[in-house]
Structure 1
């Protein structure tokens, strides 16, 4: 059963035999793990065994032995298993299915690993475990979801921040829950229960937000210029290789070109979403871009991207100014205002 991290507390009154904590956000994954461990200890699960599939000499038979072993110290135990690459392999998949086919009320399996793809959640081993327990996808919240997380965390820590201070924290730490939580805990120590302003926060923190090229792509498709410029600046500051950013933009522009060409030819786009691997959640992003950009503008953007790639490959020049120019062109007004500027 899929349960989101913010819903976990309500699910821990009666413990399940399996918990699947998968995702790339370290704060969310650790927070879920600690909630489960605390609830388990409170209900008599006093012994904890930790195994990692990456450890030298690890054998899946160890997991089976731990499930069958009688505890020397407690009648109930938690087996925490870290699954590298979220792939148990043939032997591991068979073993996990075998174990959950005969659950015991005295043993909890806590399985942890990186983010799962849709194909992995459709495997037999995952479905078998999910049917017996709770799956917690620990994906970093973005935009309004991150803002809700931030407000909730501020409330939990009983901090007092005015709206400008909250907005500053949002801009500083979106995409990095771990840094945001550390910052809030520091404020808890420093604030001494007084209300904090944005000006006071500026003395404490540096910009530590973390973004991926995929988040940048989404912001551009939605025409969130200031957000996209902030992300691009952060990607550069974090040392993200420019070819990776260019690859992401080329990918989106190539998709937009196919969709726009089909649209102008009178083709029903509903038949194209699946073939282009554009899922329901992302359709509105592309539709937004298609509604404001014409075919000529998209072709112009691809030409700019090609010029940037040529400079990079032939001259070894990372033109981040030109890349900023390209990002601005996702807004059609920029095509008129920047038409006199050539990226070459």
Structure 2
């Protein structure tokens, strides 16, 4: 079964079997994960988390799914990674779906390309589980999602304000939500927020944005990138948004290195293609192999799952994108 984000939100309380969340929208991923964890807590469902670093890790996951603790009747296992099960893992997945109706396997993956979505793993999920693509391609989809966020915050936007908000953030849902929070705090007594309030609030607090950081990274301007990064930290920019910006640039550079003729198909704006090409000429492709591990470390540190400092790790990622090395 295939669901979009809003459909998935409504089905969380009765979620069982296997669900896969994949995409490049951190707001949608985090909202769904928060809703799942809240539901598990309310239903007293035991939760475990696993990070997949190689194919053999899937055996551990399926062993855990079939063994409850003495104090649990249901189990939810949260799996993070971009490595799909091999043939043996798909066999274990099929057996789990056929015989275990109470537990939930929730798999969180980055954006998948069309060939990956046609793999044996996704065929099993589509036929027997739930496939949630965390995307919002169209303006009306993004507005529906942000309208839900605005309702949670207790604010209402005028019709023309929605278009301004989207254009201001270049379709970045997480940044748009943060702006909704900002404008709510700035104008707490207004019944409806218009363009004037958005402009006044966001212009005052947007000396630099994550888009400025991305440009500095692609240009290899380390001093400017650090300056923007420090400003964003001081202005309270969420670490998850900073990670999203950096991981997006790393992912696009790795994809463009493998598919140099497909810049536009990869989602790179036409006006930015030359920036990405210059960055590739400046960077050493061997470093790309270390990027996924660093991004996982940053994600874990932001979520409090490790003792590492996320600010220092993000600074390390900024240095790498600029062709620098902070630590030997």
Query: Normalising to structure 2: TM-score of the pair?
Result: 0.58
| Inter-partner Cα distance in structure 2 for 1:33 and 1:157 | 19
Is the CA contact 1:80–1:110 (under 8 Å) kept in the aligned structure 2?
yes
Q: CA deviation at 1:235?
A: 6.5
SS of alignment partner, residue 72 of structure 1? coil
| Inter-partner Cα distance in structure 1 for 2:182 and 2:48 | 33
* Equivalence for 1:63: 61
* Equivalence for 2:218: 239
SS of alignment partner, residue 49 of structure 1? strand
| Inter-partner Cα distance in structure 2 for 1:16 and 1:240 | 46
Give the direction of change, closer, same or farther, for the CA distance of 1:252–1:141 in structure 2 (3 Å limit): closer
Residue 129 in structure 1 maps to residue 129 in structure 2: no
* Equivalence for 1:15: 15
* Equivalence for 1:33: 33
* Equivalence for 1:109: 105
Q: CA deviation at 1:29?
A: 1.2
Give the direction of change, closer, same or farther, for the CA distance of 1:114–1:140 in structure 2 (3 Å limit): same
Q: CA deviation at 1:5?
A: 0.2
Q: CA deviation at 1:144?
A: 4.1
Is the CA contact 2:65–2:75 (under 8 Å) kept in the aligned structure 1?
no
Residue 93 in structure 1 maps to residue 90 in structure 2: yes
1:176-195 matches, cutoff 5 A: 176-194=172-190, 195=192
* Equivalence for 2:165: 169
Is the CA contact 1:24–1:140 (under 8 Å) kept in the aligned structure 2?
no
| Count of matched residue positions in the alignment of Structure 1 and Structure 2 | 238
Is the CA contact 2:52–2:82 (under 8 Å) kept in the aligned structure 1?
no
Write out per-residue CA displacement over residues 247-306 of structure 1, whole angstroms, 9 at most, x where no aligned residue: 9997689xxxxxxxxxxxxxxxxxxxxxxxx9xxxxxxxxxxxxxxxxxxxxxxxxxx9x
Q: CA deviation at 1:49?
A: 0.7
Q: CA deviation at 1:149?
A: 3.0
Please tell me the root mean square deviation across aligned C-alpha atoms, in Å: 4.2
SS of alignment partner, residue 3 of structure 2? coil
Q: CA deviation at 1:51?
A: 0.6
* Aligned counterpart for 2:76 among listed residues 70, 75, 78: 78
Is the CA contact 2:20–2:131 (under 8 Å) kept in the aligned structure 1?
yes
* Equivalence for 2:142: 146
SS of alignment partner, residue 79 of structure 2? strand
Is the CA contact 2:40–2:47 (under 8 Å) kept in the aligned structure 1?
no
Is the CA contact 1:172–1:206 (under 8 Å) kept in the aligned structure 2?
no
SS of alignment partner, residue 239 of structure 1? helix
Query: Normalising to structure 1: TM-score of the pair?
Result: 0.56
| Inter-partner Cα distance in structure 1 for 2:118 and 2:126 | 10
Is the CA contact 1:94–1:125 (under 8 Å) kept in the aligned structure 2?
no
Is the CA contact 1:175–1:209 (under 8 Å) kept in the aligned structure 2?
no
Is the CA contact 1:173–1:207 (under 8 Å) kept in the aligned structure 2?
no
Q: Which runs of 5+ in 2 are unaligned?
A: 221-252, 266-272, 283-328
1:294-313 matches, cutoff 5 A: none
| Inter-partner Cα distance in structure 2 for 1:131 and 1:250 | 35
SS of alignment partner, residue 24 of structure 2? coil
Is the CA contact 1:48–1:78 (under 8 Å) kept in the aligned structure 2?
yes
Is the CA contact 2:19–2:130 (under 8 Å) kept in the aligned structure 1?
yes
* Equivalence for 1:48: 47
Q: CA deviation at 1:185?
A: 2.0
